[in-house]
Amino acid sequence: MSFEAERVDQIACRSCGLDIDARRLESMSVISCPRCKAKNRVPVKIGNLIVDKPLGQGTAGIVFRAFDPVLKRRVAVKVLKGETKKGDPGSEQRVRKILNEARAMAAINHPNVVKIHKISTHQGTPYIEMEFLSGGSVKDLVKRHKRLPEADALQIAIDCAKGLKAAHASGLVHRDVKPENMLLTEEGDAKLLDFGVAQFRENSKGKKKVVGTPYYVAPEVVKQEAVDHRSDIYSLGCTLFYMLCGRPPFDAESVTAVYMARLKHPAPQVRQFNKEVTKKTNDVLVQMLRRNPEDRYPQYDNLIRDLEKAMHLLKQDTHLLTASTVASLIEEPDDEFAQLSPEERIAMMAPKKPSFIKQNLPLVLFLAIVIALILLGVGIGLMYMNK
């Protein structure tokens, strides 16, 4: 951390509830409960928040998982990376930047943008408290599965395009769209994080450099030209490519080689690396990844429309009827059918399984005959006994 967080004196085991003396334990370390041996992490305090786990870090800050004891909810906390010294121009500039970024994100009220709860300071260093998303990042998801099914990748791209559209309407350009900055809810909805992180900065030699992830930045960023929302569309295209193929469109042994390949060559088509991708999705990516911003989608509405059309065609081709899409895929339903819910329509269209009796008719007949013979024998026996 960029400051000394407050230690806690005591923690309760998350399994058995035993109170454990934490005064001599290392902060953020993992210990075993003396009673039940369950693993526990030694938390620290930032303001009124109990911070118990690092989640990741970017160019500007480190993100931790935390718990708000007042509101009884999980949150995420982003802490400014590096030392902050009062009176130091560099420190003050970084502080202003993270505060401006948080205020900008707080101004966007959209379900596909991570919500900012508040901005505060601890020992003079600012931190951002935001909503906690338990699904991890898109990068984590691709690492686990190598690549994503086309429908899942398209839905994530649609979610993020809608979030970027909302940001654009607020006058913001993300400038660092990449898999790490796309977080997922438990239900699988995607949300954007870290607006305004990538930008040009002066390095120690006084030369300009590109700050951002080389695999996802647009060519105009590499050339240090003006950027706008079409630069974000390009980066979103690189991320969609990554989800479908498990690799970005441009890959090389060095950052310089990645930049030069992006400037010299058109982006490869996604079907070169994943032949299962549909033609419509391939065509959408071709336009998203044009080198010239003028040749890309001019507005997010155009992009979202084509992504949704690609999803629609994919589900038609593969006959994927789900509760969320079946209603829009059925043409001219009759009145009775139209009044059913999507789940009821799926149940109606599903093939009916034959009953147990129909499936096992010979066995049922055999058992019926056996039972009849047994009953007949018992009846005859009772008759003779009565005589």
Pair of tokens at residue 54: 């690092």
The rounded Cα 10 to chain-centroid distance in angstroms is: 34
Sequence-ordered list of residues with C-beta below 8 angstroms from that of 367, at least 6 positions apart, any chain: none
What pLDDT, on the 0 to 100 scale, is given for residue 361?
67
> Which DSSP symbol is given to 137?
B
Q: For residues 267 and 2, give the distance between their C-alpha atoms in angstroms, rounded to a whole number.
A: 39
Amino acid, res. 233: I
What pLDDT, on the 0 to 100 scale, is given for residue 80?
80
Q: Which residue has the tokens 């309407």?
A: 169
Q: Write out the chain's pLDDT in tens, 387 residues.
A: 555 688 899 999 989 999 999 999 998 899 999 999 999 999 999 999 999 998 888 766 889 999 999 999 999 999 887 666 666 666 777 777 777 778 778 889 999 999 999 988 888 788 899 999 999 999 999 999 999 999 999 999 999 999 999 999 988 888 899 999 999 999 999 999 887 554 333 333 444 555 468 999 999 999 989 899 999 999 999 999 999 999 999 998 888 999 999 999 999 999 999 999 999 999 999 999 999 999 999 999 999 999 999 999 998 877 654 434 323 322 344 444 344 444 443 343 344 445 555 556 677 677 778 787 887 777 776 676 665
Q: For residues 378 and 387, give the distance between their C-alpha atoms in angstroms, rounded to a whole number.
A: 15
Q: For residues 281 and 270, give the distance between their C-alpha atoms in angstroms, rounded to a whole number.
A: 9
What pLDDT, on the 0 to 100 scale, is given for residue 142?
96
CATH topology of domain 6-131: Phosphorylase Kinase; domain 1 (3.30.200)
Q: Which residue has the tokens 């049922």?
A: 364
E strand or H helix that includes residue 307: helix 300-318
Sequence-ordered list of residues with C-beta below 8 angstroms from that of 202, at least 6 positions apart, any chain: 208
Radius of gyration of the chain, Cα coordinates, nearest whole angstrom: 30
What pLDDT, on the 0 to 100 scale, is given for residue 49?
93
Burial of 81 (0-12, 13-18, 19+ CB in 10 A): middle
E strand or H helix that includes residue 125: strand 125-131
What pLDDT, on the 0 to 100 scale, is given for residue 386?
64
Active-site amino acid positions: 176
| 132 and 67 Cβ atoms separated by less than 8 Å | no
Pair of tokens at residue 329: 């895929």
Q: For residues 187 and 203, give the distance between their C-alpha atoms in angstroms, rounded to a whole number.
A: 42
Pair of tokens at residue 29: 């370390």
Q: For residues 266 and 260, give the distance between their C-alpha atoms in angstroms, rounded to a whole number.
A: 11
Residue-wise DSSP of 327-376: HHHS-S--HHHHTS-HHHHHHHHSPPPPPHHHHTHHHHHHHHHHHHHHHH
- Helix pair angle (229-245, 279-288), 10° resolution: 140
The phi-psi region of residue 111 (left if phi > 0; otherwise alpha if psi is between -120 and 50; otherwise beta) is alpha
The CATH number of the structural domain formed by 138-320 is: 1.10.510.10
Burial of 346 (0-12, 13-18, 19+ CB in 10 A): middle
Angle (CA) 113 119 123, round 5°: 140
Q: How many other CB atoms sit within 10 Å of the CB of residue 348? A: 10
Amino acid, res. 150: E
